[in-house]
Amino acid sequence: MRLPTSPLLSLALLACLASEQATARSLAELNSRAPVQPRRTDSILIDPAAQPNLPSAGAAEKAASSVGLNLDDIQGDILIGMKKKRELFFFFSITDAKKFKAKLNKEILPILTTTTQLLSVSKQPVTALNIAFSQSGLTALNITDSLGDPAFAGGQLKDAANLGDPGTADWVPQFVGTKIHGVILFASDTVNNCNNELTKLKRTLSNTIKEVYSLQGAARPGNQEGHEHFGFLDGISNPAVQGFSTPLPGQSVVSTGSILVGEEGDNLIDSRPAWAKDGSFLVFRQLKQLVPEFNKFLTDNPIRIRGLTPKQGSDLLGARMVGRWKSGAPIELSPRVDNPTLGADRNRNNNFTFAVPGQDVANSTDQTRCPFSAHIRKTRPRADLGTPEDSAHHIMRAGIPYGPEVTSREASSKKTSVERGLAFVCYQSNLAAGFQFLQRVWADNVNFVHRGVGVDPIIGRATGSPANAPRVIGGLDPRNASRPTTLTTDFVVSQGGEYFFAPSLSAIRNTLSV
């Protein structure tokens, strides 16, 4: 090739050639690395109108930088909430720690999904992947630092009685013992994607781990998307986390450190090992739900109020047990019939307290709108404990339903024959203030928020009581709040679980995998 005589032209041509060569080189490099993943056009996440929406990647980045939070270092599931379309939980034990650490560093770390990645569809991988370790898992990895959380250190099995579980006869056998060292979460829009990624991962980790157990979760189909198996819309009242999202009216606001260890607001910040920063304690509970039995109880015991049909009376009883209608509308704002427009309005569906104007909260006996025992009042009493609301016990719920829809045979026999329920997941920086507190101190306590109101009818059980022991619940009848209702079935049955710690990516890189 003849070179041009003009020095300017030759410079331009050389630059052009160099850039073409660079492009060719980078394409070749790209091709020699991982196969190009198909681009995602559809989100991994659901977005029901009633749930707080996620911030855009830009807004989250701006909020995060204002508090010095690095969303690229925080595993994606922690701040996202109950929004996955499909999620597979894979529980494993480590059989060769040295080889596992090498794989963790080289093969798993690069494919872990960060918070930033989940916030925009174009950055989402085909299947998102997160990892968390139990105390026995950290021990297997030779991590000797204490994370400063006794419940985590002891494991969930030790906590079973404390949480109100009537022994462990109903537990999935694999959760009994300390065999589970970790859990890998796969989230995608199809079960196939989750399974394909699991197959790849098992190949990658072969000879370093053993599969212990797995559970596939899925958002319910059609217009039940976002609803749990009893039919109620879920994930409405997760808190807004400072440095991440902007609160909606009435939404609780928590400090970054309520959810993330080592951040501002983590009350044990000084005693945490440095590497634990920006990790979070993950509670996993497999909670079986007896849906036909729950429905039968509602059908058999409608609240009889003039103007309501028996079906409406049954719906009202269910709504009073939960504190919200199936649409998500709070009964505090719509006390007699469902109001789907209110339920779907994220700007209004959290904007309430249970305070009655003119009544002293501490001595209030008024349950005409919402019973003291209702699930959402037990787990977030709002102004019942005074204002401003104490945010010490807020958690980030991130679970997903599992199991099939109720079959027509089950519906007609009013008996569960196929297991379904909630793969309950929540994140917090302190188990004793978060999940453990909500379950033990509030939901299972017959005297919270007032003496004798009974346990939470959805998840509450008096500690030490046998399975299906009668549970006497106050306040479910709005015409006569002192009339107790006795439940003789546990509609939610704990199948056990484990406590995990979901570390930051840098903790995995610099500490857990070396």
DSSP string, 418-484: S--EEEEEEEES-TTTTHHHIIIIIIT-TTSSSTT----TTT---TTPPTT--EEE-S-STT-TTS-
Total of chain residues touching ligand N7H, rule CB under 6 A: 26
Residue 340 CB partners (closer than 8 Å, separation 6+): 325, 327, 329
With contact defined as beta carbons under 8 Å apart, do 259 and 429 qualify? yes
Q: Does 320 bind ligand N7H (CB under 6 A)?
A: no
Q: Of the two residues 235 and 474, which places its CB atom closer to ligand N7H in the complex?
A: 235
The nearest distance, CB 248 to ligand N7H, in angstroms, is 12
Structure tokens at 17: 């050639």
The nearest distance, CB 135 to ligand N7H, in angstroms, is 20
Q: Of the two residues 92 and 284, which places its CB atom closer to ligand N7H in the complex?
A: 284
Q: Of the two residues 275 and 281, which places its CB atom closer to ligand N7H in the complex?
A: 281
Which residues inside 283-302 make contact with ligand N7H, applying CB under 6 A? 287, 289
For residues 151 and 163, give the distance between their C-alpha atoms in angstroms, rounded to a whole number.
Answer: 11
Q: Does 376 bind ligand N7H (CB under 6 A)?
A: yes
Q: Which of 73, 189, 234, 278 is catalytic?
A: 234
With contact defined as beta carbons under 8 Å apart, do 305 and 359 qualify? no
Q: Which of these ranges, 150-158, 240-248, 273-281, 371-379, lies near ligand N7H under the rule CB under 6 A?
A: 371-379
Q: How far is CA 248 from CA 98, 237, 239, 277, in A?
A: 47, 10, 9, 27
Q: Of the two residues 61 and 234, which places its CB atom closer to ligand N7H in the complex?
A: 234
Crossing angle of helices 310-322 and 291-300, in 10° steps, is 120
Q: Binding pattern to ligand N7H, positions 425-464, x when CB under 6 A?
A: ----------x--xx---x--------------xx-----
The nearest distance, CB 162 to ligand N7H, in angstroms, is 12
For residues 53 and 31, give the distance between their C-alpha atoms in angstroms, rounded to a whole number.
Answer: 37
Q: Of the two residues 322 and 507, which places its CB atom closer to ligand N7H in the complex?
A: 322
For residues 360 and 117, give the distance between their C-alpha atoms in angstroms, rounded to a whole number.
Answer: 47
Whether 96 is catalytic is no
Q: How far apart are the first and last CA of the chain?
A: 54
What's the per-residue H, E or C state across 389-409?
Answer: CCCCCCCEECCEEECCCCCHH
The nearest distance, CB 356 to ligand N7H, in angstroms, is 17
Among 149, 189, 228, 345, binds ligand N7H (CB under 6 A): 228
What residues are labeled active site? 234
Residues that bind ligand N7H (CB under 6 A): 228, 230, 232, 234-237, 287, 289, 322, 324, 375-376, 379-380, 395, 421-422, 424, 435, 438-439, 443, 458-459, 492
